[in-house]
Chain A
Amino acid sequence: MIHFDNVTKVYANQNRPALDHVSVDVDKGEFVFLVGPSGSGKSTFLRLILKEERPNGGSIHVAGKDLSRLSNFKVPHLRRRIGCVFQDFRLLPNKNVYENVAFALEVIGKPRRFIRKVVPEVVELVGLEGKAHRMPDELSGGEQQRVAMARAFVNRPMILLADEPTGNIDPATSIGIMKVLDRINRTGTTVVMATHDAAIVDSMRKRVVELEDGKIVRDQSRGVYGQAY
């Protein structure tokens, strides 16, 4: 599903490459934790999958497509098959839960009938049934993140990328978030999650890929967060 082949990424004005000859394969339906200290290249890794950035070396394949061959015109279509969740939720403050999730479908031109059917389903999936008309500022952090996940998942993407989704959430609520992610993963969606959250990683025992200074130092199925941290 995701195939990184000797990928290098150097940002302008920086000496050290953000990613240094990284090769990784993620299969369909896998759940992968991406761990490592700040600046180790986790966010860069995710942005390369979305084609928000272009690699300086190596090649990236997503769902069998070579990203370097993908024209700018086709990039939106790629992104429709990938869902994203972030540490800061990135909800629209003037829209309620339903509208926030529906937004993702409206902007890609889905008809209203389809939206009206699918959005309630996904709102229930993340455990927010009954709160569809609340505004983001009426929700707790955990609930807001669930809305974000509903939005990421509503279009049934192949891949779900999560960049520190539990960063702003207390440990107890984080468990609830991870349950939702797990549920999403069980439907067959590939999940790649970058995180600092040692407890979560340890409790779920999924594949762990550890980055340090842009290089992969560990790739372990059913792994733990790490020794030193």
Chain B
Amino acid sequence: MRANFIFSEVWIGLRRNLTMTIAVIVTVAIGMALLGIGLMINTQVSSMKNYWTDKVEISVFLCGKNSPFENCKNRGAVTQAQKAQLEQQIKGMTEVERVEFENQAQAFENFKQQYANNSTLLSAIKVEDMPESFRVKLKNPEQYGNVIQTLQGAEGVANVVDQKQLVENFFGFLGTLRSSALIVALIQVFAAILLIGNTVRLSAYNRRRETGIMRLVGASNLYIQAPFVLEGTIAGLIGGVISAVMLIAAKIVLFDGLQNYLVLATQMSWSDVATVIMFTMVVGVVICILASFVTLRRYLRV
């Protein structure tokens, strides 16, 4: 088989249909980028879930001097005795794996770390403003019911926050976001398939004289189809590369930028990004090859 001949035909084809080829490239780039972002959101959400599910605790905030909570208004700041009793009580519960005490200094340190970028907030808060708290880690995060009920309203307790609840609402929102992103991506992929099929058909129509003669003269089916399939593949590859660049940009601008706004965000690794890029490029090329092949089969009666 003469590779030179096929490549020269491919080049001719690409040039003749330049606008359609560009349309294919753009569609593949956008479609694959959307698919990639959907997948990256998916990875990000999963990794965040995995990271935080381990770490969620029940925070038992204790009454401080000027605590605004209902429970503290009448009773004032928590006493040493109350603290000791609470600790015993918590340790005694079967669901509890361990309990840690966080004093004001430690709370302030944690606060400073989390909001390191926000200097105005940091300057407004002082050590005395931080509440003391017990950080309770459960053996099974699902079994929070009893613990919360017992502790909410106990002496010296300002508020019981189940971090799992907070996290769940947030993850619920993220899950919706992820599904929407994937649906949009799939629609784009579908549109890409249709457009590529159309372009290949147009290309075949423009070359019907050549193809007709090729069939008459006894060129094998492969020879006739190869230039068109290759045209589609090359356009798909170029689109894939563009989408890869867009995905890398997205990682740097969007996903890493999340760190500044979202305390809960975890870092997505470059190897994950690489996997997503590989996957989308393969999908892009496969779509192109399939669309070309199927369109030609039906159109050329080859």
Give A residues with C-beta under 8 Å from B.
Answer: 50, 73, 76-82, 84, 90, 92-93, 103-104, 106-109, 111-112, 151, 155
Contacts and interface: CB of A to CB of B under 8 A. Distances in A.
Chain A to chain B: the 3 pairs with minimum beta-carbon distance, closest first: A80-B218, A79-B218, A107-B219
Nearest to B224: A107
B210 A92 contact: yes
Interface of B: 1-2, 5, 209-210, 212-221, 223-224
Given A76-B219, A79-B218, A80-B217, A107 B212 contact: no
A76 B5 contact: no
B214 A107 contact: yes
Contacts of A90: 209, 212-213, 216
Given A76-B218, A77-B218, A108-B218, A92 B213 contact: yes
B219 A108 contact: yes
B283 to A, nearest CB: 31
B213 A76 contact: no
A57 to B, nearest CB: 22
B220 to A, nearest CB: 5
Contacts of A81: 218
A151 B210 CA distance: 13
20 contacts: A73-B221, A76-B215, A76-B220, A78-B218, A79-B217, A80-B217, A81-B218, A90-B209, A90-B212, A92-B209, A103-B210, A107-B224, A108-B218, A108-B219, A109-B1, A109-B2, A109-B223, A111-B2, A112-B2, A151-B217
Contacts of B218: 76-82, 108
Nearest to A50: B216
A92 B214 CA distance: 11
B221 A76 contact: yes
B216 A79 contact: yes
A192 B210 CA distance: 24
Nearest to B210: A92
Contacts of B214: 107
Nearest to B220: A76
A43 to B, nearest CB: 14
Nearest to A161: B216
A107 B221 contact: no
Given A73-B221, A104-B217, A107-B214, 5 more contacts: A50-B216, A84-B217, A90-B209, A107-B223, A109-B2
Nearest to A84: B216
Nearest to B302: A72
Nearest to A104: B217
Contact of B213 (A78, A103, A111): A103
A112 to B, nearest CB: 8
Contacts of B221: 73, 76
B124 to A, nearest CB: 77
A109 B217 CA distance: 12
Nearest to A111: B2
Which of A82, A90, A93, A106 has the most chain B CB atoms closer than 10 A to its own CB? A106
Contacts of A111: 2
Contacts of A73: 221
A32 to B, nearest CB: 20
Contacts of A79: 215-218
A173 to B, nearest CB: 23
B287 to A, nearest CB: 26
A106 B2 CA distance: 8
Interface centre among A81, A107, A155 (most CB of B within 10 A): A107
B209 A107 contact: no
Nearest to B219: A107
A115 to B, nearest CB: 10
A107 B220 CA distance: 8
Nearest to A77: B218
A107 B1 contact: no
B169 to A, nearest CB: 61
Q: Which of B2, B209, B215, B221 has its CB near the most chain A CB atoms (within 10 A)? A: B2
A81 B219 CA distance: 12
Contact of B5 (A78, A84, A104, A107): A107
A123 B223 CA distance: 25
Nearest to A86: B216
Nearest to A157: B218
Nearest to A107: B219
